[in-house]
Each structure stands twice: as structure tokens, then as C-alpha cells.
Amino acid sequence: MNGVKRLFTVSCPTGGCVAKLPVILGFHGAYQSPGNFADNARFEAHGAQAIMVYPLGTPMIAPTWNAGTEPPSVWAEENDSDDIGFVEAILNDLDARYHIDRTRVFATGISNGGRFAWRIACETDWLAGIATVAGTESDANCGPVSHPPLLIISGTDDQIEPFDGGGFGGKGIPFSIGIDLWRDAGGSVTVLRPEGGHHVWNQPGIDTTATILDFFGIATTRARR
């Protein structure tokens, strides 16, 4: 893409990537990998009836996402890559290959990946839902182009991305800013605060992945573990 090699992994449900399946975009955290994210979230083990897509951020050696921060975030301040263009190219490729259901494209992610999911909805109109884990809105001036249903999962003991802002580097925006922006635009917001939860995907007291699949309305075929 624009002379830069970009990578992503696609995972089909047990019945294959048949036509009109929904798509879930899963964005890893800063300096992690698609494999790390997939191994932690285990959407496949939950039997998600969706095409799972795990893109890789840039640069490959220490990948992050361009979360559109204003002011810049400590997690992505030097990342100016066209990540939204990258994701749109992925969807076009999937549509050409599998004829996906473009009305059911969802985004989820953790930390910097969760922040990027917010940004997609701020600047595009094709998301059917967002679920962010330990990742707040990055742009306090975001006027969402669309306002799909939003699920926020933020552990009460998250010291990197605290619910009330600050955290690592002191640049975290309080979740309340993004929540107010969403609700002012007419969007629905669901907030879960797992007691004792840290800056991780697997939160105490809930099955994070099952909760997200339920929120997205994605069918499953296997028993959850």
C-alpha cells in the first residue's frame, strides 16, 4: 500500500468464509502482534460465526496504530500511516474474495488498538459496532461521522489507561469525553468496569470475548471456555 508492505491475517469459521458473513476487525495493542491478540481473545475458540481479521500495525518491528490523536498520544505520536486506508483496502479485498456482509463490519481492539477502533468511527460511516478494551478516545475533538453502538470495557485497576484519564505519560483522555461525544451524536454506549481489572484483554468476572460477541450479535457454534 503506497509502496509499503502491509500484512493481515484472516480466520474463517468452521464452515468456511462463505458469502454474507459479518467481519470482525481485531486490532492488537501497541508493540504487540496480531498473533498475540488472537491468542488472548480466542474468538475462534468461541466459535464466532464471522470472518476474523487481524491486521498488523506499523512499523513491523514495533507496531502501533495511527489513532488520530489530538493532541498526540504517547502511544502513537510518530505514527502517521494511513491505517484507515489500509483497513478499507482489507475490506475491499475480503469483499472481492468472499462477498462479505458490508452492513455487519465490527471493530474491536485493546489499548492503542481500541483507540484506533474509535478513530475509524470518527472518520468513516461503515462500522456496525465497536468494542474497545482498555482503550479510550484519542481525539477530544472527534465529531463522529457515524455513531455505531459502542461497548467500553475498562478495568477499575487499569493504571495505563485509567477511566478518568492520565495514566502512562499523563496523556490519557478520560473516557467520559468520548462517551459524551458519542451520546451527543445520538449513539448508544455500554460501559463495563470489571472490578480489579488491569490493562489486559481478559478481565476478572467476565468473559471479554463472549461479551463482545453478544454485543455485536454474532452467533457462535461451540461451547465457550
Tally of structural domains, the chain:
1
Which DSSP helix (H) or strand (E) runs through 107? strand 105-110
Specify if 1 maps to a domain. no
C-alpha distances out from residue 215 to 56, 132, 146, Å: 25, 12, 18
> For the whole model, what pTM was predicted?
0.93
Q: pLDDT tens across 92-150, in order?
A: 999 999 999 999 999 999 999 999 999 999 889 999 999 999 999 888 888 778 889 99
What is the model's pLDDT at position 72? Answer: 41
Q: How far apart, in whole angstroms, are the C-alpha atoms of residue 214 and residue 69?
A: 29
Specify if 179 maps to a domain. yes
Q: Which domain holds residue 171?
A: 8-216
Q: Which residues contact 66 (CB under 8 A, 6 or more apart)?
A: 76, 79, 80, 81, 82, 83, 84, 116, 119
| Higher pLDDT pick, 62 / 71 | 62
Q: Inform me whether the pLDDT recorded for 224 exceeds 50.
A: no
Specify if 2 maps to a domain. no
Q: How many CB atoms are closer than 10 A to CB 207? A: 15
Cell 455505531 appears where? 148
Reading the block at residue 224, the C-alpha cell is 465457550
Q: How far apart, in whole angstroms, are the C-alpha atoms of residue 127 and residue 33?
A: 23
Specify if 104 maps to a domain. yes
Specify if 221 maps to a domain. no
Quick one: pLDDT band at residue 73, thresholds 50, 70, 90?
very low
- Between the two ends of the chain, the Cα-to-Cα distance in Å is 38
Cell 470518527 appears where? 122
Please work out, in degrees rounded to the nearest 5, the angle formed at the alpha carbon of residue 179 by the alpha carbons of 67 and 195. Answer: 95
What is the model's pLDDT at position 83? Answer: 93
Average pLDDT over residues 45-56: 97
Cell 464466532 appears where? 48
> Rounded mean pLDDT of the chain?
90
Is 41 strand, coil or helix? helix
| Higher pLDDT pick, 69 / 157 | 157
Specify if 3 maps to a domain. no
Q: pLDDT tens across 5-32, in order?
A: 899 999 999 999 999 999 999 999 999 9
As a whole-number percent, the residues of the chain with pLDDT over 70 amount to 91
Q: Which residues contact 96 (CB under 8 A, 6 or more apart)?
A: none
Is 73 strand, coil or helix? coil
Strands 8-11 and 51-55: antiparallel
Q: Look up the CATH number of the domain holding residue 81.
A: 3.40.50.1820
Quick one: pLDDT band at residue 90, thresholds 50, 70, 90?
very high
Question: Do the Cβ atoms of 71 and 171 come closer than 8 Å?
Answer: yes
Specify if 225 maps to a domain. no
Q: Inform me whether the pLDDT recorded for 66 exceeds 70.
A: yes
Specify if 204 maps to a domain. yes
Q: How far apart, in whole angstroms, are the C-alpha atoms of residue 154 and residue 151?
A: 10
Q: Which residues contact 169 (CB under 8 A, 6 or more apart)?
A: 73, 74, 75
Quick one: pLDDT band at residue 75, thresholds 50, 70, 90?
very low
CA 54 to chain centre: 10
